[in-house]
Amino acid sequence: MGRPHHLVEDQLFDCYTAERAGEPLDPRSAEHLADCGECGDRYSELSRFMDGLRTEADAETDALFPSDRQDAQRLSIMRRIEHLGHAARVITFPGRLVTQQMGKSLRLRVSPWAATAAAACLFVGVAVGMFYDGRNHRPQFSTARVVPNPTAPQATAGIGPAPIALDTETFLTELERALGGPQTPELMTLDVLTPHVREIAFDAR
Amino acid sequence: MNDRPIRRADAHGGTAGGPAPGPTTRRLAPPTSEDTELAVDIRSLLEGGAVDEARERFAELVSRHQRRALRIAYQYLRDAADADEAVQDAFVKVFAHIGSYREAWPFEVWFTRILINGCLDRRKARARRERWFTSSEESSPDETQSAFGGPTPLDPEARLLARERRARLAAAIDRLDGRQRTVFMLCHYGDCTPREVSAITGLNESTVRVHLFRAARKLRGLLGGKP
């Protein structure tokens, strides 16, 4: 009596799915859809919405993957397939070649007599340098008093070279005197910027 | 997120001759599709050592499934480069494991399962990356499109509207439950019937229908259509 039984949403959706898959619709639903305008409208609306989603997806995919990109992809797939089953090619590091090259270049550039001469010159140069250096600086160093400082941290015995016991105060004084000399005018700016030991000691007090 | 891989052991062809049968296996019609025959031919050629010919035939198979595969992968991953790689990987995997393909299953089902598993792996990897690193700005479809020299719509307003519409759709699909999303993707974008989706996912066919209906209803609700 009165109001006909309309198709519920899932029935409508089943009809849509069946139609898309090319399967036969449920006969009762198909009959109702043919007779009922309201359900027909609902079905059309559902179909429009679902088809719209699909059309949108197709358009998006086609825009992103045009035929030339698909061709490139196909080529890439075929290239990858060609390499299937082949063992990976390992490129060996050319160690032997490098050794040969290095050996050859050394042989060409440094012959034994030249190396010996260079070593001898170096030895003579160092010896002469030490001799002159010793003669020029010995008196100056002799004036510096080496006073052991009991407050200075001592190096742990047995680790590293023996500690150099040099009076810090004396060393810094010597340094300042050297910096104040006329032979180092270019260092004066740096000297002005650097705090002096005396100033630090005064501030500390 | 409920993105579970689809029968992982079967993705490479299964251990006992193809994918393990789900609850609806027996209801599947025997496959007689051209693709299935082609896949069987390729397998025979490879077994006979005719590799070059097998490759040629496989190129045919790739051409047939490429567009559909790209559509599924892109809708799943929403990234053109990722989708490209996922599709390539799926095809290469198919060729590498075609010896274990059994014609009891349509080729399409077998291939789609491999593809979807690859996409799920990539989504998982991406989620992991995003957890540890700041996500890089994704290239918009238009940018990618122009980068690859594809056709560009003339009207900028229409282009903007299309981009917004697609972004809304993607966001809505992303809000679906993992299974609903997979079922919806396969049915609506992958042209699979509920029966095929059932074979791919291992879900009962009626469960597939329920998921599909719920996904569509939710999407209609989210996108402003009548639920």
Q: How close B182 comes to chain A (CA, Å)?
A: 15
Residue A155 covered by a domain:
no
**Are A54 and A117 contained in the same domain?**
no
Report whether pLDDT(A138) > 80: no
Query: Residues A36-51: pLDDT tens digits?
Result: 888 889 999 889 888 8
Within a domain: residue B25? yes
pLDDT of A74 > 90? The answer is yes
Same domain assignment for residues B130 and B161: no
* B68 neighbors B88 (Cβ within 8 angstroms): no
Closest CA to B172 of A53, A11, A55, A47: A53
Out of A189-203, B59-73, B125-139, least confident range? B125-139
Residue A125, in any domain of the structure: yes
> What's B98's domain CATH number?
1.10.1740.10
The CA distance from A187 to the nearest CA of chain B, in Å, is 50
Q: What is the DSSP letter of B49?
A: T
8 Å CB contact between A170 and A140: no
Count how many residues are written for chain B: 227
Give the pLDDT band (50/70/90) at residue B106.
confident
Contact B62 A77 (CB under 8 A): yes
Judgement on whether residues A23 and A60 belong to the same structural domain of the protein: yes
Q: Is residue B148 part of a domain?
A: no
- Number of compact structural domains in chain A: 3
What pLDDT was estimated at residue B80? 92
Q: Which pLDDT value is given to residue B103?
A: 81
In a domain, A76, yes or no: yes
CB contact under 8 A, B149 and A66: yes
pLDDT at B73: 93
Judge whether A177 lies within some domain: yes
Does the pLDDT of residue B160 top 70, yes or no?
Answer: yes
Query: Which residues, including other chains, have CB under 8 Å from residue B52's CB and lie 6 or more apart?
Result: none
Residues A60 and A26 in one domain: yes
Q: Average pLDDT of B87-94?
A: 94
Query: Is B88's CB within 8 Å of A80's CB?
Result: yes
Instruction: Give A 14-33 residues with CB within 8 A of chain B.
Output: 14, 17, 21, 23
**Shared domain check, A167 and A134:** no
For chain B, percent of residues with pLDDT exceeding 90? 24
Higher pLDDT: B132 or B225? It is B132
A56: part of which helix (H) or strand (E)? helix A37-64
Plot region of B191 (φ>0 → left; ψ -120 to 50 → alpha; else → beta): left
Domain identity same for B23 and B88: yes
Q: What is the pLDDT of residues B33-48, one digit of tens each?
A: 788 888 988 999 988 8
Q: Are residues B188 and B95 in the same domain?
A: no
- A69 pLDDT more than 90: yes
**Res. B64: pLDDT tops 50:** yes
Residue B216 touches partner A, C-beta closer than 8 Å:
yes
Quick check: B166 and A53 CB within 8 A? no
Min Cα separation B129/chain A (Å): 24
Residues A75 and A116 in one domain: no
Is B70 among the domain residues? Answer: yes
Q: Domain with B209 in it: what CATH number?
A: 1.10.10.10
For residues A163-191, give the mean pLDDT: 68
Whether A139 and A167 share a structural domain: no
Instruction: Return all residues near B38 (Cβ < 8 A) that are at least 6 apart.
Output: B57, B60, B61, B107
Q: What's the rounded Cα separation, in Å, for the pair B216 and B169?
A: 12
The mean pLDDT value of chain A amounts to 74
| B193 shares its domain with B100 | no
A144-153, A174-183, B77-86, B103-112: which has the highest mean pLDDT?
Answer: B77-86
For Cα atoms B52, B58, B61, give the angle at the middle one, nearest 5 degrees. Answer: 160
> The tokens of A69 are what?
């990109």
The reply to whether A116 falls in a domain is: yes
Q: State whether residue B96 sits within 8 Å of chain A by CB.
A: yes
pLDDT at B200 over 90: no
Closest CA to A65 of B169, B150, B152, B72: B150
The two structure tokens encoding residue B109 = 């089902």
What is residue A75's predicted lDDT score, i.e. its pLDDT? 93
Q: How far is B3 from chain A (nearest CA, A)?
A: 21
User: Given CB atoms, is B185 within the 8 Å cutoff of chain A?
Assistant: no
Confidence tier at A11 by pLDDT (50, 70, 90): confident
Residue A94 has pLDDT above 70, yes or no: no
Residues A74 and A118 reside in one and the same domain: no
Q: Are residues B29 and B96 in the same domain?
A: yes
Identity of the residue in A45, A61, A70 whose CB atom sits nearest the CB atom of B226: A45
Instruction: Examine the domain organization and report whether B57 and B107 are in the same domain.
Output: yes
Flag if B84 and A81 touch (Cβ within 8 Å): no
Chain B contacts in chain A segment 68-107 (CB below 8 A): 68-70, 73-74, 76-78, 80-82, 84
- Asked if B87's CB is within 8 angstroms of A63's CB, the reply is no
State mean pLDDT over A3-11: 77
Q: Domain tally for chain B?
A: 2
3-state SS of B92-148 is: HHHHHCHHHCCCCCCHHHHHHHHHHHHHHHHHHHHHHHHHHCCCCCCCCHHHHHHHC
Work out how many CB contacts closer than 8 A connect A with B.
110
In a domain, B214, yes or no: yes
> In the predicted model, is pLDDT for residue B169 greater than 80?
yes
Q: Are residues A18 and A46 located together in one domain of the fold?
A: yes
Interval B140-166 mean pLDDT: 62
Closest residue to B213, CB basis, from A13, A56, A68: A13
| Domain endpoint, select from B71, B101, B134 | B134
Question: Are residues B86 and B184 located together in one domain of the fold?
Answer: no
Q: Which residues of A touch B172 (CB under 8 A)?
A: none
Q: Do A13 and A49 fall into the same domain?
A: yes
Asked if residue B23 and residue B112 are part of one domain, the reply reads yes
Q: Are residues B172 and B226 in the same domain?
A: yes
Q: Is the domain of B109 the same as that of B172?
A: no
Indicate yes or no: CB of B66 within 8 angstroms of CB of A80.
no
* Longest pairwise C-alpha distance within chain A: 132
Distance CA A96, CA A102 (A): 10
A16 domain-assigned: yes
- Residue A87 in any domain: the answer is no
Alpha-carbon span B41 to A30, nearest angstrom: 41
**The domain containing residue B125 runs over which residues?**
15-134
Mean pLDDT value of segment A77-99: 73
Q: How far is B6 from chain A (nearest CA, A)?
A: 23
Q: Do A68 and B188 touch (CB under 8 A)?
A: no
- Interface-testing mutation among B77, B169, B211, with chain A (most A C-beta atoms within 10 A): B169
In a domain, B1, yes or no: no
Q: Is residue B169 part of a domain?
A: yes
Please report the pLDDT score of residue A109 as a whole number.
61
Q: Is residue A21 part of a domain?
A: yes
- pLDDT of residue A56 exceeding 80, the answer is yes
If asked whether residues B29 and B82 sit together in one domain, one would say: yes
The pLDDT score that the predictor gives to residue A35 is 86
Question: How many helices (H) and strands (E) would you count in chain B?
Answer: 9, 0
Domain boundary among B134, B165, B197: B134
Closest-CA distance of chain B to residue A30, Å: 18
Q: Are B35 and B97 members of one domain?
A: yes
* A78 and A138 both lie in a single domain: no
Whether B145 is covered by a domain: the verdict is: no
Cα–Cα distance measured from residue A194 to residue B8, given in angstroms and rounded to the nearest whole number: 72
A131/A171 same-domain check = no
Domain end point (choices B84, B104, B134): B134
CA distance A138 to A115: 34
Domain of A184 in residue numbering reads as 145-150+162-205
Give the model's pLDDT for residue B2: 53
ipTM for the predicted complex comes to 0.72
How confident is the model over B62-81, as a mean pLDDT?
A: 91
Residue B9 lies in a domain: no
